[in-house]
Amino acid sequence: MDDALSEFGRRDWETETDLESVRFAMVGLGWWTREEAIPATEQSDRCETTVVVSGHHDKAEDVAEIADDTATAITYDEFHDGAATDEYDAVYVATPNAKHLEFAESAAEFGKAVLCEKPMEATPERARRMVETCEDADVTLMVAYRMQTEPAVRRARELVREGAIGDPMVVHGSMSQDLLEMIPNPDQWRLNPDLSGPGTSVMDLGIYPLNTARFVLDADPTAVSSFARSTGDAFSDVPDEVATFQVEFDDGTLAACSASQNASQSSHLKVVGTEGEVSVEPAFFDRQNRKFALEVDGNRMSLDYKQVDQMLEEFDYFAHQLRTDGDIYPDGRHGLADIEAMAAIYESADEGSVMEL
């Protein structure tokens, strides 16, 4: 039992610690980049923010001042023109979804590795172009699934793989937040299909239970179906103020998921197998105290574990794999599968029928 505790947060992916630092160009300087991503690189021994890239030069300059490393501030246009390419090794892309591709394309052109926020793009076509562009240029592409380097999720995955809960049978996963309380402006990119993709709640939140279930089960979706509705004025351009979706996985497991940008902050992930269950709740918000539980034979272990900085784990994983030439688990093709599944989820909600993948 004490090993379970002392080893809970271990970086099982880490084989080397003495590695050359990776210098990042941070593209898209919204609150997530400023308050989560840049601070993570500052905490990291193997990552640093050396370039910051924004649509507006002034904003880039302001953010450059926040960053410790006397970063170079450039605009999107300057980035695409190849400015400061000597000053970074990799690009972190955190723009609106539908703008990820263009930055990945420029990065690939410059031979820079890409860490792209999820969802990786707005449509399967664009996501596929990103994959192919990076493959053709032979640059590393990782999709920024911070749950995949979250200890609770990695431990859940190990337990499932080892058979601790028997054969997985069913997953429940949810994520909701009050988007308009967080960003009190209906004119924002997450509510604009030109920038977000086919919708908001599934694209931005539903991807967490979807991808985390895939990762924990080590399985991929074979069919989806969905209900979605929007009634609030702010959600008139997107179909999914709230959505539920079901997923059938290639190992036979079924998942019941939900997502909402207009509900109280809430999240959970629960995997029930023939012999037990493993759960993380709250699950998906990085500034909440996530809790882990395992139940087998009616005996339940609940863990309040030392929370990690999820963005630090994610950036360190990316840098580690890059510097050790290791495989990236959430690579472009992995991310593309989610984009395809989510496109099918939206299509299912629209058409009222199951979509096979």
Can you give the binding site for its own copies, defined by CB under 8 A? Answer: 165-166, 169-170, 172, 174, 176, 178, 223, 225-227, 229, 231, 242-246, 248, 252, 254-258, 260, 262-266, 268, 270, 272-277, 295-296, 298, 352-354
Instruction: Give the span between the Cα atoms of 253 and 220, in whole angstroms.
Output: 10
Q: CB within 8 A of 341, min separation 6: which ones?
A: 210, 221, 224, 247, 357
Closest approach, Cβ 323 to its own copies, in A, equals 39
Q: Which is nearer to its own copies, 54 or 174 (CB)?
A: 174
Closest approach, Cβ 272 to its own copies, in A, equals 5
User: In 162-304, where does DSSP find H-type helix?
Assistant: 179-182, 193-196, 201, 207-217
Q: State which amino acid sits at residue 102.
A: E
CA Rg, the chain, in Å? 20
Q: Which is nearer to its own copies, 109 or 295 (CB)?
A: 295
Residue 157 near residue 215 (C-beta atoms within 8 A): yes
Instruction: Give the span between the Cα atoms of 231 and 263, in whole angstroms.
Output: 13
Closest approach, Cβ 65 to its own copies, in A, equals 32
Q: Which is nearer to its own copies, 143 or 160 (CB)?
A: 160
Instruction: Give the span between the Cα atoms of 242 and 179, in whole angstroms.
Output: 12
Closest approach, Cβ 96 to its own copies, in A, equals 25
Q: Which is nearer to its own copies, 166 or 326 (CB)?
A: 166
Closest approach, Cβ 5 to its own copies, in A, equals 23
Q: Which is nearer to its own copies, 110 or 227 (CB)?
A: 227
Instruction: Give the span between the Cα atoms of 253 and 162, in whole angstroms.
Output: 16
